[in-house]
Chains A and B, each alone.
Chain A
Amino acid sequence: MEFDIKEIQKILPQTYPFLLIDRIIEFEPKKRIVSLKNVSFNEYFFAGHFPGMPVMPGVLIIEAMAQTAIIFFAKSYQAEMQKEMLYYLGKVEAKFLNPVFPGDQLKIEVKPLKILAMMGIVEASASVGDKLVAKAELAFAAKAKERESK
């Protein structure tokens, strides 16, 4: 199963300049998901990270993993709530193994370790081609948005 950016935008609360995945290329409900992030020199963060030496910040790779995990969680378990949810990242254990440069295509795979009704732990890996660039475990919680009282 694949999802394009329009489908991603239906689920993720993040928008430009903080929507860090472009496409879902594989999805098996409750089992795994794979997303793509095309990294271009035009990314806003390369202006400052670093001038003359553009490297994608590791924390943004984590953010791309977290966004992939949201899609996985929402599509696997929250079919009817999606946009009405808020997501919180609770804990991250990560290793950064190789730098990511302009022109790279990040492929991010997320698998569940333990998922409960409103929280979970997933393992994620990010690679460019055959090279693993980062891996992490992320713990997150989800909460229904409170209705505005006005």
Chain B
Amino acid sequence: MGSINTVENEIKELIAQILEVGSEKITPDAKFVEDLGMDSMMALEIVAAIEKKYKITIPEENLMKLASLGDVIAVTEQFLGKK
């Protein structure tokens, strides 16, 4: 429960659903925009979905940092830690 791996897998599934790609394509380093076709509205959806799931608030200035799965996990954990 609540381990790093669980969070990683949950976030991966959630991103795969929003970007409409198979979760196997969401590798830690795959670039959302260049490799997976993310646009700004999808970025907003990802942040909104994570906020809802983990009951956290991710401020707008963090959005630009979310370029890959690794980035999303790092930011999510940062704000989970602050809860």
Q: Are A and B co-members of a single complex?
A: yes
Residues 91-142 of A contacting B (Cβ, < 8 Å): 91, 113-114, 116-117, 119-121, 139, 141
The count of A-to-B residue pairs whose CB atoms sit within 8 angstroms is 25
User: Which chain A residues border B51 with CB–CB below 8 Å?
Assistant: 114
Count contacts on A: residues with CB < 8 A to the other chain: 11
User: Which chain A residues border B74 with CB–CB below 8 Å?
Assistant: none
Among A113, A117, A141, the residue within 8 A (CB) of B48 is A113
User: Which chain A residues border B47 with CB–CB below 8 Å?
Assistant: 114
B16: interface (CB < 8 Å): no
Contact in complex: B52, A116 (CB < 8 Å): no
User: Which chain A residues border B45 with CB–CB below 8 Å?
Assistant: 91, 121, 139
Interface size class of B (residues with CB under 8 A): 10 to 19
Q: Tell me the smallest distance from the CB of B15 to a CB of chain A, in Å.
A: 15
A90: interface (CB < 8 Å): yes
Complex-state Cα separation, A114 to B40, whole angstroms: 14
B21: interface (CB < 8 Å): no
Interface 1/0 per residue, A48-90 and B, CB below 8 Å: 0000000000000000000000000000000000000000001
Q: Tell me the smallest distance from the CB of A114 to a CB of chain B, in Å.
A: 4
Contact in complex: B63, A139 (CB < 8 Å): no
Using a CB–CB distance below 8 Å, which chain A residues touch chain B? 90-91, 113-114, 116-117, 119-121, 139, 141
Give 4 nearest A-B pairs by CB, closest first: A114-B48, A90-B41, A121-B48, A116-B60
List 13 interface pairs A-B (beta carbons < 8 Å), by A numbering: A113-B48, A113-B52, A114-B44, A114-B47, A114-B51, A116-B44, A117-B60, A119-B41, A119-B44, A120-B44, A121-B48, A139-B45, A141-B41
Using a CB–CB distance below 8 Å, which chain B residues touch chain A? 40-41, 44-45, 47-48, 51-52, 60, 63
Q: A113-B48, A116-B63 are in contact. List 13 more A-B contacts (CB 8 A).
A: A90-B41, A91-B41, A114-B44, A114-B47, A116-B44, A116-B60, A117-B60, A119-B40, A119-B41, A121-B44, A121-B48, A139-B45, A141-B41
